[in-house]
Chain A
């Protein structure tokens, strides 16, 4: 306390213009600890020269109007949420000094999880926690820190452990976490303890100035109105009752072990966006792909099989290549009630027109890779449609006579290529060969987009070619 004059800090507004009524005094009750803690914080902001960088978060509780007083950036927030809001503003403005100021109801009851999580994340903020063992603002109800036996308006016969549990000890809780760097409980009682509060306030702010981490200062504080006592009695009550329950002291301090660092601003950049977002920038839509025969135009396709057969991948390949061939496309995996029992299916539409319903109720093409899929979807296929099925796994042919049917031993052919999982690409080759919906080179161009392992691309090309060759040999171009 080296200054030669102790007076109203410059970090308070000269006139409290946001306040109605007397604009030179606070709204706090006589003898209330909030005012004293405000003074200690404002004095520290002055002394550290951080007024321009400070953002003060006013909670819900008697300090809801702290923004009337502090000449800094002010945010008033919902009950208990100050640590979450503090997280948001500090992450966006790491150069700022963020003070989260909360009462015991705000911090330890409704916002209990918010404070624990912010502490555990090690948000680089400073938290001042006024513990007055009561809800001041709402007229003296029980707080999570209310003492056993203490009468409040909602514990008219005194708090009991059986009904309300024991007082919550936040310093003890928070100091068990790894991230916080400084946790101390102090008390606004006599001048000696008050000077410890002053030191703690400054330390907690200095930690943030030096960009070190999460600091938490619990301040035991009198609420003469809530406790229904005079200010002087209230101080004594704190000494007699609160201090024994809430021991003072440093619960954790690793701040000395940490090197100070710069609080740097977030820089907004839009450089290399497409590359960073993996957005293609080169022309990838062909306009020269010839149309297929009318009966194969605008296919609505259901692809179905069991998980592991690469059904979704097959659909994806069709959609990707279809898009590059210049079609409107949609791909949707089976969703909702359909998605049970180990079967996998997806709906793909390639269309020359804008696509309406992306789900396929009456497919013009069915690709069935196992028997249950064939049985389930065969009847839904539009007359004149196309059914392709894996004849190495399905040993009965479709019953429908009004559709075109192609059985292809895709799994067996894939085995011959040395990889069972490539059966899906054999089917893809067969499909484009029968329908002429797009040439092979469009599909080959599309492969690197949906095949993650680049090593496998030649094998995929081979499989597509095998599928096409099978059609040419057995079926002819339809």
Chain B
């Protein structure tokens, strides 16, 4: 584990290449910090994006997203490597 210190803030990371643009994460996010990108990804979808702050780490988006690897949510205090 490279990082010994825990994350100070929760965050969400979206792998744009794996996003199919269904928007369910955006709908589910209680903090309203996800949005639809203007551009298309390699599959021709508008991927979801994270505004960069405000994620509470609730994981709602993760559990609405049908793609196994498209969304990773790090909660506050996470210690360890970034997996995504």
List residues of A whose CB falls within 8 A of some B CB: 1, 3-9, 12, 22, 24-26, 28-36, 38-40, 42, 69, 190-191, 194-195, 198, 224, 230-232, 235
Chain B: minimal CB distance from A124 (Å): 28
Contact assessment for B59 and A30 in the assembled complex, using a CB-CB cutoff below 8 Å = no
Task: Say whether A25 contacts B83, CB under 8 Å.
Answer: no
Minimal beta-carbon separation of B25 from chain A (angstroms)? 10
A-binding residues in B (CB < 8 A)? 17-18, 20-24, 27-28, 42-43, 45, 58-60, 62-75, 77-80, 83-84
Query: Within the complex, what minimum Cβ distance (angstroms) separates B6 from chain A?
Result: 8
B18 proximity list for chain A (CB < 8 A): 24-25
Q: Is the CB of A24 within 8 A of B17?
A: yes
Contact sample, A vs B, 28 pairs, CB 8 Å cutoff: A3-B75, A4-B75, A4-B80, A5-B80, A6-B62, A6-B71, A7-B83, A8-B72, A8-B83, A8-B84, A9-B68, A24-B17, A24-B69, A25-B69, A26-B66, A26-B67, A31-B20, A36-B63, A36-B64, A39-B63, A39-B66, A39-B68, A191-B28, A194-B63, A230-B22, A231-B22, A231-B24, A232-B22
Q: In the complex, which residue of chain B has the Cβ closest to the Cβ of A24?
A: B18
Min Cβ gap B9→A in Å is: 13
Q: CA of A12 to CA of B83 in the docked complex: distance in angstroms? A: 14
Is the CB–CB distance between A6 and B59 below 8 Å?
yes
> In the complex, are the beta carbons of A31 and B66 less than 8 A apart?
yes
For B21, the closest partner residue in chain A by CB is: A30
Whole-angstrom CA separation of A191 from B60 in the bound complex = 6
Minimum Cβ distance to chain A for residue B30 (Å): 8
Chain B residues contacting A69 (CB-CB under 8 Å) are 68
Contact (Cβ within 8 A) A4 B68: no
Min CB distance B75 to A, Å, is 5
A9 to B83, CA, bound (A): 11
**A5-B78 in contact given A42-B68, A69-B68, A231-B23 (Cβ < 8 Å):** yes
* Contacting pair B72 A25 (CB below 8 A): no
Q: Please tell me if the beta carbons of B74 and A5 are within 8 angstroms of each other in the complex.
A: yes
* Given known A-B contacts A7-B83, A24-B17, A25-B20, A33 and B43 have beta carbons under 8 A apart: no
Which A residue sits closest to B81, measured CB to CB? A5
B77 to A4, Cβ gap below 8 A?
yes
- Check B68–A8 contact: CB distance below 8 A: yes
Q: Report chain B residues within 8 Å CB of A25.
A: 17-18, 20, 43, 67, 69-70
